[in-house]
Amino acid sequence: MKRGIKLLSSAVLGLAAVACSSPEKMADMAENVTVNCDPAVLEVVAGEINATVSVTYPADYFHPKAILEVTPVIVYEGGEAAMEPFMYQGEKVTDNYKVVPSDGSTVTEKVHFTYVPGMEKSYLELRGVVKYKNKTVNLPVKKVADGANTTYMLVDKSGKVDYKADNYQEIIKQTAEGQILYTINSSTVRNSQLKSESIKSFQAALDEIKANERKEITSTDIVAYASPDGGEELNAKLSDKRSGTAEKAFSKVTKGHEVEAPVNVKSIGQDWEGFQELVAQSDLEDKDLIIRVLSMYSDPAVREREIKNMSAVYTTLAKEILPELRRARFIANVEFTNYSNEELLQLIEDNIDVLDEEALLRAASVAKDNSAKVNVYKKAIEKYNSDRAQYNLAVVYLNENKVDAAKSELAKVQAKDADWQNAMGVVALREGNKAEAAKCFNAAANQTSKENLAVLDILDGKYADAAAKLADAKGCCHNKTLAYILNGQLDQAAASAKCASPKVAYLKAVIAARQGKADEVKANLEAAGKDEKLAERAAKDIEFAQYR
């Protein structure tokens, strides 16, 4: 039995001696060397390819006096890229390379390449050269991984900009008003008041409204008051009586000037609001003192007492102010229908000068092409020095990717607000200055700039940050869907991919490929293939390697 063990030991030693006897033997036994790569499919992140390669050399493989030079190489369409070689040595070599003992070992190395176009269809291989004494032998090339996934490069990095909104009103609220005056402590309407200039103007306004197809009376208010002198209770009753007589007077005033709208009758009582307004508009020397009294006291009785204590002033008030507050107002509430979008478009062609700033801004927003938008915004700038039009003109140029023109117009904008900061960030983004873009987007600190920051996150490989920033994004879903894909949130990606476009169809194909849904891959690639560039990309994209 002992003799058998000795014979077996001798055989193993003999095999080891044969295995390690020369560089040629290392080449012959290279198939016993195993290689693993993490990730198994190379991926480009922020323009770089990084992976971890582990090579396991079995026992009795590595010659104790040999030096092994291993060069990682990416082979791609149009060329190849090689790293500096990793150097290994047997345990009897006296150099300073990493030692691989004869009883076997696993060595792990980080590989790194900078992406160049063409690497989206590539593979990583290891090229080994064994050196022993004066001999040099090339080992069989070991393919390590396929590559490289460039899905993040589908990001839309044009950046989003918002137009400044106009304040154009489709419906403009207007009023037409007349009033009748009463004598002190009276609710009787005098005939002279029914023929006053105020009433004549009111009647003329009613006629004009009726003749104007853009105007419509929606309701009419009859509001009765008492001047704020005398007791509050007495004035409340007086105001109520005036409201009744004013309603009857209104019927006479509107006879022949019919108002087809509800009539609301109100009694206010003491007219302190009107009192303050008339005092503020007057030339009274002590008007500031009177207004201060009104602000100090809310009790009507106290107000009246304090004002009457200013005897010289009160005489003037009783003569010039208080009589104007013994009144009833007739108020027609009117809606003016402004120019429709179609009318605005016609006016910018036929009579642009009749449009005010807000109408010009609205007309530009509904203009059918960018050339018309530019002309209208330039008119608003010329005529009204409109800062919003100045900014919006820059947005038009950005939408046309005329970055220099946009930059020039943005320099003229006065309001350096969040929208402006975001637009400057988009300019920097398109110029390739990511640091300046980030600075501007952070300064803007609004929803649009937040979504633009997500673009930078995707470009920098910060996929979780991008997905978080885009969670509330509205409108185009492209970058939101992409961020979810890159972050491994395929269900969220599928739910967000609602836009109908070749680019989104391509992303849906990527989602389906990662979920193993062959039919959906095919259908979505057909839709994406309407874009020639996407069709060309799909033919090389490693995402679809198993479906070709």
For position 389, what pLDDT does the model report?
98
Q: Residues 402-418: pLDDT tens digits?
A: 999 999 999 999 999 99
Residue 6, pLDDT > 70, answer no
Quote the mean pLDDT of the chain: 92
pLDDT tens digits, one per residue of 118-170: 999 999 999 999 999 989 999 999 999 998 999 999 999 999 999 999 999 99
At 344, the amino acid letter reads L
What distance in Å separates the CA atoms of residue 215 and residue 218, rounded to the nearest whole number?
10
What pLDDT is attached to residue 21? Answer: 53
| Range in 227-231, 387-391, 435-439 with the lowest mean pLDDT | 227-231
pLDDT at residue 336 in the model: 95
- On the question of pLDDT at 301 being above 90, the answer is no
Look at residues 499, 495, 492, 433 and name the one whose alpha carbon lies nearest to residue 466.
492
- pLDDT score for 284: 84
Give the model's confidence band at 312: pLDDT under 50 very low, under 70 low, under 90 confident, else very high: confident
Q: Would you state the pLDDT for residue 17? A: 38
Given a contact cutoff of 8 angstroms between Cβ atoms, the answer to whether 66 and 83 are in contact is no
pLDDT digits (tens, 9 = 90+) for 446-474: 999 999 999 999 999 999 999 999 999 98
Q: What percentage of the chain has pLDDT greater than the value 70?
A: 96
The string over 357-386, giving b where at least 16 C-beta atoms fall within 10 Å of a residue's C-beta and e elsewhere, is bbbbbbbbbebeeeebbbebbbbbbeeeeb
Cβ atoms 398, 414 nearer than 8 A: no
Peptide bond into 148 cis (omega under 30): yes
**Calpha distance 407→394 (Å, rounded):** 7
Map residue 28 onto helix, strand or coil.
helix
pLDDT at position 86 over 90: yes
Tens digits of residue pLDDT in 217-263: 999 999 999 999 888 899 999 999 999 999 999 999 999 998 889 99
With CA atoms as reference, report the closest residue to 511 among 534, 533, 482, 539: 482
Q: Are strands 263-270 and 41-45 parallel, antiparallel or unpaired?
A: unpaired
The answer to whether residue 174 scores a pLDDT higher than 90 is: yes
Q: How far apart are CA 543 and CA 295, in angstroms?
A: 74
Q: Which of 8-17, 93-102, 273-282, 431-440 has the lowest mean pLDDT?
A: 8-17
Is a pLDDT exceeding 50 seen at residue 1?
no
pLDDT at 90 over 60: yes
Banded model confidence at residue 283, pLDDT cuts 50, 70, 90: confident
Mean pLDDT value across residues 14-43: 79
Taking the CA of residue 111 as centre, how many other CA atoms within 13 Å lie in the half-sphere pointing to its CB?
Answer: 33
- Rounded Cα distance between 392 and 379, Å, is 12
Q: How confident is the model at residue 178 (pLDDT cuts 50, 70, 90)?
A: very high
Is residue 46 left, alpha or beta, with left meaning phi > 0 and alpha meaning psi from -120 to 50? left
Would the pLDDT of 56 be above 90?
Answer: yes
What's the mean pLDDT in 520-527?
A: 97
pLDDT for residue 5 is more than 50 = no
Q: Do residues 410 and 424 lie in contact, with contact meaning Cβ atoms separated by under 8 Å?
A: yes
How far is the C-alpha of 133 from the C-alpha of 27, rounded, in Å? 16
Structure tokens at 318: 């009783």
Radius of gyration of the chain (CA): 43
Average pLDDT over residues 331-355: 95
Which helix (H) or strand (E) segment is 384 a member of?
A: helix 370-384
pLDDT category of residue 281 using cuts at 50, 70 and 90: very high
- In the block, residue with structure tokens 């050399």: 57
Tokens 């990511």 appear where? 434
Confidence bin at 499 (pLDDT 50/70/90): confident
Q: What percent of the chain has pLDDT over 90?
A: 84
Spatial distance between the Cα atoms of 210 and 199, rounded to a whole number of angstroms: 17
For residue 12, what pLDDT band results from cuts at 50, 70 and 90?
very low
pLDDT of residue 426: 98
Cα–Cα distance, 543 to 283 (Å, whole number):
82
Lowest mean pLDDT among 21-35, 385-399, 534-548: 21-35
If we measure between CA atoms, which residue out of 434, 438, 376, 374 comes closest to residue 409? 374
Q: How many CB atoms lie within 10 A of CB 428?
A: 21
Rounded Cα distance between 87 and 130, Å, is 10
Those residues whose C-beta lies under 8 Å from the C-beta of residue 295, and which sit 6 or more positions away, are none
Would you give the DSSP letter of residue 94? -
Handedness of CA 500, 506, 510, 515 (dihedral sign): positive
